[in-house]
Amino acid sequence: MPRARLWRSTPFRLAVTFGLVFFLTFVAAGFVTYQFMRRELQRSLDSSVADLHAVIASSDDLEDLIAMVDAYSRVNRAREWVFCVFGADGRQIAGDVSTPPLPDGFSTVGSVALGLRDGADYRAFSGVIGSNRLIVGRSYAATNRLEHIAFLSFVWATLVAMAGAIIGGVLLARKVQRRLDGIAGAMTAVSHGMFDARVPLRGNGDDIDVVSGQVNEALDRLSALMETMRQVSSDIAHELKTPLNRLRMQVEAAISGDERGENVTEALFDARAEAGQINATFEALLRISQIEAGARRTRFQSIDLTDLVTSVGEIYAGVAEDSGHILSTSIEAGALAISGDRELLTQMFVNLVENAIRHCPPGAAISIALAREGDSAVVAVNDDGPGIPAGEREKVFRRLYRLDKSRTTDGSGLGLSLVRAIADLHAGAVSIRDNRPGVSAEVILPLEQPALKGKH
């Protein structure tokens, strides 16, 4: 990753911020610990000096005191300790150093003041024993060394921890950045028209994976929509070419007939009928788009589906009979309330019944069945006609799509598209199944919930 980009990356900034907080916490904790340790070392130094002073002070008489001071001085070659005894007249009578006059109790004296070469200071305790004064001192050298070691350890620990935090942060940032790059890459590819690009998933279900999954779902929907749009436009262009060509030929025939002085009224009627058909197709296409846009949802009201299906059955029984078909209606449920648009729902069932009448040869038995299944109403329009091959059962819902064998029948291939748009508008679903033989077109519609019913 280039350095400039690394600085701009949120994970890296987070890692650096976290490292800084870590550093400050470490310094504060170190400072407190260091101060604590210094105080403890000072206290133990003081107590060791006072203890030795008390031991020497416990001597029986002056002679014993001097002997004890001499003995201690002899074993004290490294000058860790200093001793000094002053007599009642203020003259030094024993000890290995000569101290300046010191007040009672503890004081800190520089090594030079004790007549020693420059070095660590001494902690001294001065006390009166009888008419004499005993001073015992101990060097700060060991304490200073300990403090120095503690300080160095702390500095090194901080440096190592900081290096760990920064290296870990950068590695982590790179890892997260790579995944963000994956999302950005997919989005760029999609914006360049590669609609099959998807964000790579890790499969571990972490938050980035969840967001990536949601992005992928949105892309799936987007590409499905784009595909539908593309296919709809090309289907429309393709399908309308034929009637438009026909219309042109009819107009040309009329013109040349007119030039020859023939009566062209017939040809003009044909042309008008063809133009009317093209117009009807466009109107149906527009209607489907409007339904898909969902504006009609505002006109929804509570409708009894049993009523509606019964009346479609009654009206179409006559139509079916006229064309030599038999239409029966079976209602397996009482009143079934759904929230919907009466006109559109009627149109939906009429389209299915008309399909059965139009695409089945005379003599076919057609049935409309209404039943309740759980919280849904199921309306099936069945026939025992030629049926629709399995591979075409989904395609027939596409706009203008018709089976090859139906190209000679009237219609524009928009009936089932309208059915699907209406079912979708009502939060339902429609599918074509095999009726062995024939078609079973099944519409499932959610029933109105009793709690919601009162609100309408």
Positions that interact with Mg ion (CB under 5 A): 355, 415
Size of the site for ligand ATP (CB under 6 A): 24
Which one of 15-23, 47-55, 69-77, 413-421 is the stretch in contact with ligand ATP (CB under 6 A)?
413-421
Binds ligand ATP (CB under 6 A): choice among 65, 439, 443, 445: 439
Partner from Mg ion, ligand ATP, none contacting 271, C-beta within 5 to 8 A by type: none
Which one of 162-170, 205-213, 254-262, 401-409 is the stretch in contact with ligand ATP (CB under 6 A)?
401-409
Q: Please identify which residue in the block is written with the tokens 């070659």.
A: 77
- From the CB of residue 268, how many other CB atoms can be counted at a distance below 10 Å? 16
Nearest CB to Mg ion, comparing residues 340 and 415: 415
Partner from Mg ion, ligand ATP, none contacting 9, C-beta within 5 to 8 A by type: none
Nearest CB to ligand ATP, comparing residues 102 and 309: 309
Nearest CB to ligand ATP, comparing residues 122 and 401: 401
Asked if 403 touches ligand ATP (CB under 6 A), the answer is yes
Partner from Mg ion, ligand ATP, none contacting 385, C-beta within 5 to 8 A by type: ligand ATP
Q: In this structure, are residues 438 and 387 in contact, taking their beta carbons and an 8 Å threshold?
A: yes
- Tokens representing 329 are 């209606």
Which one of 91-99, 145-153, 261-269, 381-389 is the stretch in contact with ligand ATP (CB under 6 A)?
381-389
Nearest CB to Mg ion, comparing residues 165 and 285: 285
Partner from Mg ion, ligand ATP, none contacting 439, C-beta within 5 to 8 A by type: ligand ATP
173 HSE (CA, 13 A, CB side): 24
Nearest CB to ligand ATP, comparing residues 73 and 367: 367
Least distance in angstroms from the C-beta of 368 to ligand ATP: 12
∠ CA 113-114-118, rounded to 5°: 70
Give the C-alpha separation, 136 to 29, whole Å. 36
Which one of 144-152, 312-320, 334-342, 414-422 is the stretch in contact with ligand ATP (CB under 6 A)?
414-422
Asked if 325 touches ligand ATP (CB under 6 A), the answer is no
Binds ligand ATP (CB under 6 A): choice among 19, 313, 340, 415: 415
- Tokens representing 354 are 């008309």
Give the C-alpha separation, 215 to 202, whole Å. 14
Least distance in angstroms from the C-beta of 407 to ligand ATP: 8
Partner from Mg ion, ligand ATP, none contacting 413, C-beta within 5 to 8 A by type: ligand ATP
Least distance in angstroms from the C-beta of 425 to ligand ATP: 17
Partner from ligand ATP, Mg ion, none contacting 62, C-beta within 5 to 8 A by type: none
Give the C-alpha separation, 99 to 124, whole Å. 10
Binds ligand ATP (CB under 6 A): choice among 95, 137, 385, 428: 385
Give the C-alpha separation, 243 to 250, whole Å. 10
Q: In this structure, are residues 267 and 254 in contact, taking their beta carbons and an 8 Å threshold?
A: yes
Q: Please identify which residue in the block is written with the tokens 């916490």.
A: 25
Cross-strand partners of 125: 106, 136
By DSSP bridging, strand 92-95 and strand 81-86 are: antiparallel
For residue 105, the one-letter residue type is G
Contacts of ligand ATP in 344-373 (CB under 6 A): 351, 355-356, 358-360
Asked if 277 touches ligand ATP (CB under 6 A), the answer is no
CA distances from 132 to 59, 88, 135 (A): 12, 5, 10
Asked if 396 touches ligand ATP (CB under 6 A), the answer is yes
Asked if 406 touches ligand ATP (CB under 6 A), the answer is yes
Which one of 194-202, 225-233, 331-339, 378-386 is the stretch in contact with ligand ATP (CB under 6 A)?
378-386
* CB-nearest residue to ligand ATP: 415
Nearest CB to ligand ATP, comparing residues 370 and 414: 414
Binds ligand ATP (CB under 6 A): choice among 30, 213, 386, 446: 386
Nearest CB to ligand ATP, comparing residues 264 and 396: 396
Q: In this structure, are residues 324 and 292 in contact, taking their beta carbons and an 8 Å threshold?
A: no
Contact positions toward ligand ATP, by CB under 6 A? 351, 355-356, 358-360, 383, 385-388, 396, 401-403, 406, 411-417, 439
